[in-house]
Structure 1
């Protein structure tokens, strides 16, 4: 098959910064390539129009057309023309797009089916964070979902909430995000540093970063030598307008606890594996996710995890089997689970082995690619 992914982001130096959507698309693309499928990635919002290859994946950069009040329409029409042209030339057979801001809302293809995969709309995340959504985003997202030829969601929870908030009754195939389990695996010769907690991901309110200082304060009360390492981009806080979430976090730490915190900022993706290796426990106190790739990467490396217990979390972690889950606002209970893992090496190993097994069964890019490919065939 010839499969195209339409996306605003892709993890490559040429296409700029990328988040979870871009990473998941690259993982899935690699899985499809391994099954002898052709993959194109159409990245819009780029500084130029160009084509290049990334390890066999054909990347098309699409430059936005800027015209006040009409840019949203013109870029959709440009993408539409490109898809129809590639389809007519038999260079693609199906297009998958993310749900974020509804890029396909006014794209009309002649015969090429368009599939939307839920990674979480802006409306979805605003709903989980209990804040207003821009009406224009909600309009485009709902229209795109209603027009799609097929729908996939990375979690059953995200599908359920999406139907509720848009007043829809759509059927979604549930296919999770996948990762490269050969890349993210435990290296026997590398041992974790003692009493080290790792969080990796964006420093942003919705991922519970303003709860993490209170949680860590409780951990340090149990043992003053515990370290916390933070890795990820510092994001502007949407509620206060502060340009730095890290700046908001620092006063929330007790003095003793803050002395034990190291913020590394953004690190190269290739280096992330080493930081996970060095952690004793990984923590993810998030309030809003669809199905986080970071959790799966840590699980694949046999790390003991303490994560939030909201919605999607139970589709990733089985509490007390391959990790602990707890609500982020329960600071003492969350901290107690971290402390229990720090004290018990045997329990960490037990959780880690079970976590790796679950990733291999459900979240490997090979498994996810096969499920996705069957879905695409059904659409055609």
Structure 2
């Protein structure tokens, strides 16, 4: 089979920055190559037009085009022509695209189109209880309507997306995956009282709640240090830096216990994970977060949110703790318990990796994806 992906992000040094979506596509693409399939990735809105190969995966970097009028339409038609050319030239059997802002709305392809639900803009607006732009809603509705098949990375995302858009189509669930040979326990020793948050600094991921949680946690011990790794963003509600808002929420006397390290490459993220005693991920809005399964793969005990998708990834009290991020005292107490009990951290970390290997390892999940693509092609 020849499977292609259309995406706005993909982790590679010659492409623009990438987050969880890009990581999930790269993990899947790599596992498909290992399974003997062909893979092409079309990465749009990049700095330049370029074709290259990365670990057996054919990458098309597609430069962002500028249009005086109707760019939303002409951009999609350009991508449609570009991709259809390679569908015909290289025998691509199936094209997969993400759901975010409905990039495939108004497009028609020369092979079956699969949309994988990582979380539409409508989905995240619903979880965050904010108003969605009408244009985005229309694009996403149209893209989902025109897709030949729809996948979701979690049952929670599938169910909520069906409710939001009134979808009648069947949605199969295949989770994100991770290579457990790349993300594995490190020989680097974890540092006592060191906690890590990694991911975009944004309200929906509970970053501002984390500041309030840390006020309670730091009050009990001055030894705790929080590392925040990820890109700062402008907050959607007040139009200011999330990092600045975090520091305003955190009491001034505790500022010295927090370190912002910015966006890090994969290798450095692994190093930060290795050094952390506890990983904290208090998100309000996810589909199936790569950060969670990356930390679990490295045998880290986590304290995460308990919302929606959480019980599809975590086992509360076994792989770590799941807590409502607004329950600041309970969240802080869970972190402190793990910081003070190294045997419990080790036990939960080992359970986290074992649970991950059974459910989210690439060798397990790739079989589900291959079987799904074969069904799509045969139909």
Q: What TM-score, normalized by structure 1, do the two folds share?
A: 0.97
In the alignment, what sits opposite 2:242? Answer: 245
Instruction: Quote the offset at 1:46 in angstroms.
Output: 2.1
Instruction: Quote the offset at 1:3 in angstroms.
Output: 0.4
Of stretches 273-282 and 365-374 in structure 1, the one that deviates more from structure 2 is 365-374
**In 2, distance between residues paired with 1:140 and 1:118?**
14
Task: Please give the residue correspondences for 1:214-233 in structure 2 after superposition, counting only pairs within 5 Å.
Answer: 214-233=212-231
Of stretches 42-51 and 175-184 in structure 1, the one that deviates more from structure 2 is 42-51
Do the aligned partners of 1:321 and 1:351 also contact (CA within 8 Å) in 2? yes
Count residues with an aligned counterpart: 377
In the alignment, what sits opposite 2:127? Answer: 128
**In 2, distance between residues paired with 1:186 and 1:264?**
22
**In 1, distance between residues paired with 2:183 and 2:51?**
29
Do the aligned partners of 1:233 and 1:265 also contact (CA within 8 Å) in 2? yes
SS in 2 for 1:169: coil
Q: Which runs of 5+ in 2 are unaligned?
A: none
In the alignment, what sits opposite 1:373? Answer: 370
* Deviations 1:5-61 (CA, angstroms, capped at 9, x unpaired): 000111112221111111111111000000111100011112332211111110012
Q: Which runs of 5+ in 1 are unaligned?
A: none
In the alignment, what sits opposite 2:151? Answer: 152
In the alignment, what sits opposite 1:69? Answer: 69
Asked if 1:325 is matched to 2:322, the reply is: yes
**In 2, distance between residues paired with 1:46 and 1:222?**
47
Do the aligned partners of 1:64 and 1:71 also contact (CA within 8 Å) in 2? no
In the alignment, what sits opposite 1:16? Answer: 16
**In 1, distance between residues paired with 2:83 and 2:279?**
41
Instruction: List 4+ stretches of structure 1 deviating above 6 A.
Output: none
Asked if 1:206 is matched to 2:204, the reply is: yes
Match of 1:305 among 302, 315, 323: 302
* Deviations 1:265-308 (CA, angstroms, capped at 9, x unpaired): 11222111110011110000111111110110100111010000
Instruction: Quote the offset at 1:90 in angstroms.
Output: 3.9
Do the aligned partners of 1:117 and 1:153 also contact (CA within 8 Å) in 2? yes
Of stretches 359-368 and 62-71 in structure 1, the one that deviates more from structure 2 is 62-71
Of stretches 325-334 and 59-68 in structure 1, the one that deviates more from structure 2 is 59-68
Instruction: Quote the offset at 1:140 in angstroms.
Output: 0.8
Do the aligned partners of 1:20 and 1:292 also contact (CA within 8 Å) in 2? yes
SS in 2 for 1:82: helix
SS in 2 for 1:317: coil
* Deviations 1:91-118 (CA, angstroms, capped at 9, x unpaired): 31100000011111111123x0000000
In the alignment, what sits opposite 2:338? Answer: 341
Of stretches 328-337 and 178-187 in structure 1, the one that deviates more from structure 2 is 178-187
* Deviations 1:158-217 (CA, angstroms, capped at 9, x unpaired): 111111111223321111111121111112x32100111110111110100111011011
**In 2, distance between residues paired with 1:314 and 1:9?**
28
Instruction: Quote the offset at 1:218 in angstroms.
Output: 1.0
Do the aligned partners of 1:224 and 1:256 also contact (CA within 8 Å) in 2? no
**In 2, distance between residues paired with 1:311 and 1:68?**
42
**In 2, distance between residues paired with 1:204 and 1:87?**
37
Asked if 1:109 is matched to 2:106, the reply is: no
In the alignment, what sits opposite 1:171? Answer: 170
Do the aligned partners of 1:65 and 1:74 also contact (CA within 8 Å) in 2? no
Match of 1:360 among 357, 365, 377: 357
